Amino acid sequence: MIIIIVVYGAMLVISLLNIRKNYELDEFEPYEELLQSEFTKPVSILVPAYNESAGIYGSIRSLISIEYPEYEIIIINDGSKDDTLEKLIDRFNMVKINRVIRKQLDTKEVKAVYQSTIYPYMYVIDKENGGKADALNAGINLTKYPYFCSLDGDSIIERNAFLKVLKPIIESDDEVIASGGSVRIANGCEIQNGELTKIDLPKKPLVVMQIIEYLRAFLTGRVGLSENNLLLIVSGAFGVFSKKWVIEAGGYAHTVGEDMELVVRLHRLIKEKKENKKIIYVPDPVCWTEAPESIKYLRRQRKRWHKGLFDSLWKHRKLMFNPKYGSIGMFSMPYFFFVEFLGPFIELIGYIILILSIFAGSIYLEYAIIFFLLSLIYGSIYSMASVLLEEWSMERYPKVKHFVILFLVSITETFWYRPLTVIWRVEGMLEMLIGKKGWGEMVRKGVSNE
pLDDT of residue 43: 93
CA distance 266 to 264: 5
Instruction: Write down the architecture of domain 2-340 according to CATH.
Output: Alpha-Beta Complex (3.90)
Radius of gyration of the chain (CA): 22
Contact present, 150 and 259 (Cβ < 8 Å): yes
Q: How many residues does the chain have?
A: 450
Q: With contact defined as beta carbons under 8 Å apart, do 63 and 194 qualify?
A: yes
- Alpha-carbon distances, residue 70 vs 119, 121, 146, 162, 232 (angstroms): 13, 9, 12, 11, 29
pLDDT at residue 26, as a whole number: 46
Whether the Cβ atoms of residue 447 and residue 58 lie closer than 8 Å to each other: yes
Task: Note the pLDDT of residue 86.
Answer: 93
| Beta-bridge partners for 183 | 287
Q: Which residues contact 346 (CB under 8 A, 6 or more apart)?
A: none
Residue 131 near residue 254 (C-beta atoms within 8 A): yes
What is the distance between the alpha carbons of residues 58 and 65, in angstroms, rounded to a whole number? 11
Residues 6+ apart with CB under 8 A from 220: 8, 11, 12, 15, 382, 385, 386, 389
Element (H, E) at 279: strand 278-289
C-alpha angle with apex 299: 298 to 303, nearest 5 degrees?
A: 115
Q: DSSP assignment, residue 96?
A: E
| Mean pLDDT of each 10-residue bin along the chain, 450 residues long | 79 75 52 64 92 85 86 94 92 91 90 94 94 94 93 81 85 88 88 80 92 82 80 86 95 88 94 92 82 92 92 94 93 92 91 84 80 76 74 70 84 87 94 73 56
pLDDT given for residue 394 in this prediction: 65
State if pTM tops 0.95: no
pLDDT of residue 385: 76
- Of 9, 411, 1, the closest CA to residue 220 belongs to 9
**Which pLDDT does position 38 carry in this prediction?**
64
pLDDT of residue 25: 47
| Nearest alpha-carbon partner for 132 in 46, 218, 54 | 46
How high is the pLDDT of residue 437?
63
Least Cα distance to 150 among 170, 134, 171 occurs for: 134
**What are the helix and strand counts (H, E) for the chain?**
17, 12
Report the relative pairing of strands 122-127 and 71-78 from DSSP bridges: parallel
